[in-house]
Amino acid sequence: MEKGSGRGTLVLLFAAGFCAYGCNHACMIYVPLYVVALGGDLLQAGLQATVFLALAVALRFVVGPWADRRGAKRPMLLGLAAYVAGAPLLGLCHDFAAVLVVRCLQAVGMAAFFPCAMAAVSAASAQARSGLALGLYRFVSSVALMVAAPLMFSLAGAVGYGVAFTGCGVLAAVGLLCAALVPARCCRPAGSEGEAKGTRAGWRSASGEDAATPADEARTATAAASSGTQRDAAEALRGARREDLATSATARMPGDGRAAVVVALAVTLLSALGYGLVTNFATSFAEAAAPEANAGMLMALVGAGGLIANPLAGWLVDRRAASGVVAAFAAVMGAGIALVAVLPMIPALLAGAGLLVGIGYFGTVTSAVALLAKRAPEGRRASLISQQQNAVDVGIGVSGLLFGALIVATGAPALFALAGLFLVVAPLALVVLATRRPAVAA
């Protein structure tokens, strides 16, 4: 995909993302309540969410390669169209079976839009700032959640679920219009020259670009000096110096591009498991263990930590596109989960625990997706971002069953302490292993 297509394109992508995230968050939060209101039980309310996520995970294996071959714009439009049609159809459902069918339609939206939109954001931004752009894009998703949840609650209470879901469809339609205005050139796959270059270079260097030597940069500067104006020569020489500095700064980064991608995906999965542990069990544990603390603030503080972490993580990956950044955020999350274990003894740590979990989890996910966007070969970006999204959904999805069984066996304090310690140690160990792994040609 072509790089650096301008701020206007990023504004359109951010607006489309805000609308899509708002619609998706509202549906995920309120469809379970809607199922119960239609006469369903809690098992059915949970089943629709499981089917929705499982189908989205499966579809990403198809959508990612499609976007890499044909460009990201069509999958984005397809995804938003699924939300435009699906949200109002929810309001017309009269039983659980109809809701399940519509949620399968919306799973197409989740699989098609979000990973392809992030690939497009990376492609539309300058390479040196693509991490920050992705961090700000995920910041928008956090804001959309904060806005969509209370707004949907007010609409459902005032005018009923049918009109509220129709409103979600209108929001998705605005996003579809924004996505339709995104220039196709920033979403299409690289041309034959770019593809040939990507084929030769394979996995990218730590700077996010295809591997190049200082001599290559010097030749570029010399060519510009001999064929262009003095201004062109000066700019080329400054660019060469910047690239030399980047090369020296990243030469010692752990592993090659392939190893960094594996670490990013693995740490994302571990962090998603930890996030599932917190969302499923931490609030109830804190409420029972420290009644004097406001346990409801825990998840609010997790969200606040996400607002801090998303742009910070993207900026850090721009500065140092290494898997160590991802592992460091995971360690911060692990420290926050470990603090949850000691809330019965020190309830005042609740605020710190929530902030650390939020900063760590959202920082991990954002830095991982930014690292994947920088390190992946051009023809694999959307596919790898899709798999990173799958790691998030699978980790959160299985955490309820996994930790539900473990919490009975070990007790909640021990489980939170062990899970926190594991999240500190395991990602850092993966980075050490990647550092010692010999560089392998792609």
pLDDT in tens, 242-268: 444 333 333 333 345 778 888 899 999
Cα 354 to Cα 278: distance, rounded to the nearest angstrom: 9
The residue length of the chain stands at 442
Mean pLDDT lowest among 136-140, 163-167, 286-290, 384-388: 286-290
pLDDT score of 60 more than 70: yes
The pLDDT of residue 171: 94
What mean pLDDT do residues 225-248 have?
Answer: 44
Closest of 62, 64, 81 to residue 20, by C-alpha: 81
Cα 420 to Cα 343: distance, rounded to the nearest angstrom: 14
CA distances to 25, 165, 350, 406 from 50, in Å:
15, 20, 30, 21
The pLDDT of residue 59: 95
Closest of 383, 223, 384, 250 to residue 325, by C-alpha: 250
The pLDDT of residue 142: 84
pLDDT in tens, 161-219: 899 999 999 999 999 999 999 987 766 655 433 343 443 345 555 444 444 434 444 44
The more confident residue out of 38 and 246 is 38
Mean pLDDT lowest among 237-246, 351-360, 396-405, 430-439: 237-246
The more confident residue out of 241 and 9 is 9
Cβ neighbours around 206 below 10 Å, total: 25
Instruction: Give the residue carrying structure tokens 């990023």.
Output: 10
Q: Residue 147: which pLDDT band, with cuts at 50, 70 and 90?
A: confident
pLDDT score of 56 more than 80: yes
The pLDDT of residue 253: 36
Does the pTM of the predicted model rise above 0.75?
A: yes
What mean pLDDT do residues 121-139 have?
Answer: 87
The pLDDT of residue 14: 95
Closest of 175, 136, 172 to residue 7, by C-alpha: 136
CA distances to 21, 316, 364 from 144, in Å:
6, 23, 20
What mean pLDDT do residues 271-290 have?
Answer: 85
